[in-house]
Structure 1
Amino acid sequence: MITTVTGHFDEYSARAEATNEGFIDADFTFVAKTASVNTRNKDRDEHLKSPDFFHAEHYPEIRFTSTSFDGETMLGVLTIKGITREIAIDMDFNGIAIDPYGQTKAGFEGNVTVNRKDFNLTWSALTEQGNIVVSDSVRIGIVLQFVKSS
Structure 2
Amino acid sequence: MFASTFQIDAAHSKIAFKVKHLAISNVYGSFTKYDANIEYDVNSKKLNALTANVDVNSVDTDNLKRDGHLKSADFFDTKQFPKIAFKLISTSDDEAIAELTIKGITKKVTFDYENNGVIKDPWGNTKLGVSLETKISRKEFGLTWNKVLETGSFVVGDKITINVDIEAKKNQLTKALAFVNYTKDK
**TM-score in terms of structure 2 length:** 0.76
Q: Secondary structure at the match of 2:68?
A: helix
Q: Select which of 85, 90, 106 maps to 2:107.
A: 85
Partner of 1:123: 145
Greater strand share, 1 or 2? 2
Matches for 1:7-22 after TM superposition, within 5 Å = 7-22=29-44
More displaced, 23-32 or 9-18? 23-32
Between structure 1 and structure 2, the one with the greater Rg is: 2
Aligned partners of 1:90 and 1:41: how far apart in 2? 29
Aligned partners of 1:53 and 1:91: how far apart in 2? 27
Q: Is the 8 A contact 1:15 1:146 kept in 2?
A: no
Q: Are residue 106 (structure 1) and residue 134 (structure 2) matched?
A: no
Instruction: List alignment gaps of at least 5 residues for structure 2.
Output: 1-22, 173-186
Partner of 1:28: 50
Deviations along 1:76-103, whole A, 9 cap, x unmatched?
1000000000011111011211111211
RMSD of aligned residue pairs (Cα, Å) = 1.4
Aligned partners of 2:45 and 2:82: how far apart in 1? 29
Q: CA deviation at 1:15?
A: 2.2
Q: Secondary structure at the match of 1:47?
A: helix
Taking every aligned residue pair, what percent have the same amino acid on both sides? 36
Q: Are residue 53 (structure 1) and residue 85 (structure 2) matched?
A: no
**TM-score in terms of structure 1 length:** 0.93
Aligned partners of 2:93 and 2:168: how far apart in 1? 16
Extract structure 1 runs of 4+ deviating beyond 4 A: none
Higher relative contact order, structure no. (Cα contacts within 8 Å, ≥ 6 residues apart): 2
Q: Are residue 64 (structure 1) and residue 86 (structure 2) matched?
A: yes
- Count of equivalent residues: 150
Greater helix share, 1 or 2? 2
C-alpha distance 56-20 of structure 1, shift in aligned 2 (>3 A): same
Q: Select which of 66, 74, 80 maps to 2:96.
A: 74
Q: CA deviation at 1:144?
A: 0.5
Q: Are residue 37 (structure 1) and residue 41 (structure 2) matched?
A: no
Q: Are residue 95 (structure 1) and residue 95 (structure 2) matched?
A: no
C-alpha distance 41-107 of structure 1, shift in aligned 2 (>3 A): same
